Amino acid sequence: MPNPAFALVASLIWAFSPIYYRAFMKKLDFLQLNLLRTSLSAALLAGPALILGLGAGFGYALLSGLVTLALGDSLFLLSIGEMGASTATPVVYTYVLFVQLTATAVGETVPAANLVAALMVLAGVFLISRGGGKPRARGIALGLGAAVVWTVGQDLIRVATNAGGDVVGIAFGRVLSASVALAAAAVATGRIRSWPRGFTGREYGFLALVAGSDLALGSLLYVYSISLVGVAVTVILTSLSPLLTQVFSKALGKESPSAMDYAGGVLIVAAVVLAVVL
């Protein structure tokens, strides 16, 4: 499998998951949902991680999980609840631009083409922010907040891989620390006591499938891609997710993106092509 393929497969997985997370949020609030998805993924990765060993860089992985998954993904889920997955996902992907600006801090050289591609992603997000018929300011603000937090978390992944961290150990450390922090928050805010009733075993099973593909398989591919091609290139490659989310949400009858939304998504795909070709 060529190097870019790992990030591209992750982007395909991450295009589907936000669509279904919005459906789950009809019964679960953002904190309960994030706790479930991280704890289920931690359970899936625990065995392989302990067998292979946690390795160096595990501490950075724990920090990345706290920043990216516990805080950043919670903001992302709130943004999805505000304006839908097909709109929130592209907005959050402004972190692609931020990573290009910070990647040099973790020892990477960022080509000029990457900066141009990142600006194209930002322009695509602007077009998406102009689409739709209802105000999106709160949702966009939450999405941008998630983008800033994600930037720090992705750079920490690169620090963990530079320190010789194992891919499985890093992926496990991220979901482990996030699930512990979210569990503490759920207890402190009373969300454990107010856990919704009527969430069936079948729904829990489907959530485990979505979360496992998202935070277990997707994260493994993502971390491995960062170890191969770096964080700056990987985040641009995974920027295919916003357009794919729009297409899939429309095809599945979940949401109805506007023409402006699609235009922004196409611009983001063009940015990915630029980054790959040049």
> Which regions of the chain are under pLDDT 50?
1-2
Q: What is the pLDDT of residue 213?
A: 93
Residues in the chain: 278
Give the Cβ contact number of residue 183 at 10 Å.
16
What is the spatial distance between Cα 172 and Cα 182, in angstroms, rounded to a whole number? 15
Q: What is the pLDDT of residue 210?
A: 92
Q: What is the pLDDT of residue 276?
A: 60
Q: What is the pLDDT of residue 135?
A: 59
**C-beta separation of 156 from 178 below 8 A:** no
Q: What is the pLDDT of residue 133?
A: 58
Amino acid at 92: V
Segments making up each domain of the chain, as ranges:
3-277
Q: What is the pLDDT of residue 264?
A: 81
Q: What is the pLDDT of residue 231?
A: 81
Q: What is the pLDDT of residue 134?
A: 62
What is the spatial distance between Cα 278 and Cα 272, in angstroms, rounded to a whole number? 10
Q: What is the pLDDT of residue 26?
A: 87
What is the spatial distance between Cα 2 and Cα 23, in angstroms, rounded to a whole number? 34
